[in-house]
Amino acid sequence: RYVIGNNIDASDTVNWNSAAGFNPLGNNTTQFSGILDGLGNKISNLTINRPTTDYVGLFGRTNGASIRNIGLLGGSVTGRDAVGGLVGLNNNSNISNAYATGSVTGANSSVGGLVGYNNSSSISNAYATGSVTGQYAVGGLVGENGNSSSISNAYATGAVTGGQNYVGGLVGYNNSNISNAYATGAVTGQFFVGGLVGVNTNNSSISNAYATGAVTGNQFVGGLVGSGGNISNAYWNMETTGQTTSAG
């Protein structure tokens, strides 16, 4: 059980480990399984620059963890697969009252402003405002929302750019539940591109949600989602998204 007692200026991490920056807490073999309560404090200017490393974020990989009441202000996070500002792979864990405002870059897949891959986990009362760049499953808040997971009371406002497929303003690839959420950032990708979600599978649902950011792609492009799934009480802005249909 851990708490953050004060705000932390992490500017010096830009020079750590031969410019690789901060070493994420938890990885493929040693996952973080504790409780972290930030007590409303924030970590500023965190730098992680590991473009060939998977599971990258302040926490690289969690399992059975609880992370709450914490903010990441500014900074930048770079990795390969499962990359997020706060958590790279959030597994069987809960995140609440959390935000990130820095930029996030992934060389490949599952890249999100707050969480890269959310698996059998919940995220609530959360937001991300930084730009997000990756190839596949790229989202302003979460890259991939996996099985038995939920995202609620959340939003993202940063620009999202995917070099390939499954790109969304909030979530790139959704295979579970999203409720009470919105996205306002511009979204750019190739296939399955949506203002809110890139792919919303048949096993998933979206409710009480909207998108307003400009959406650009080649095929399966929608103002709200790139492709279907179960959607209720949701809308997109045709003028600002530039899309006349909700789903590609």
18 conformational bin, left if phi > 0, alpha if psi -120 to 50, beta if neither: left
pLDDT one-digit tens code per residue, 202-212 = 989 999 999 99
pLDDT exceeds 90 at position 40 = yes
Across residues 142-159, what is the average pLDDT?
Answer: 98
CA distance 2 to 170: 29
Percent of the chain with pLDDT over 90: 97
Instruction: Specify whether the CB–CB gap between 232 and 200 falls below 8 A.
Output: no
| Confidence (pLDDT) at 38 | 98
Residue 241 sits at φ, ψ, to 5 deg, of -80, -25
pLDDT in tens, 91-116: 999 999 999 999 999 999 999 999 99
With 0-12 / 13-18 / 19 or more C-beta atoms within 10 angstroms meaning exposed / middle / buried, residue 123 is: buried
pLDDT band at 229 (very low <50, low <70, confident <90, very high): confident
What average pLDDT score do residues 174-192 get?
98
Q: Measuring CA to CA, how many Å separate 4 from each of 32, 43, 221, 234?
A: 16, 9, 42, 37
pLDDT at 228: 85
Quick one: pLDDT at residue 28? Answer: 85
Mean pLDDT rounded to a whole number for the chain = 97
- Inter-residue contact 247 to 227 (CB < 8 Å): yes
Using the predicted structure, report yes or no on whether residue 46 has a pLDDT greater than 90.
yes
Give the predicted TM-score (pTM) of the model.
0.98
* pLDDT, tens digit (0-9, with 9 covering 90-100), for 51-81: 999 999 999 999 999 999 999 999 999 999 9
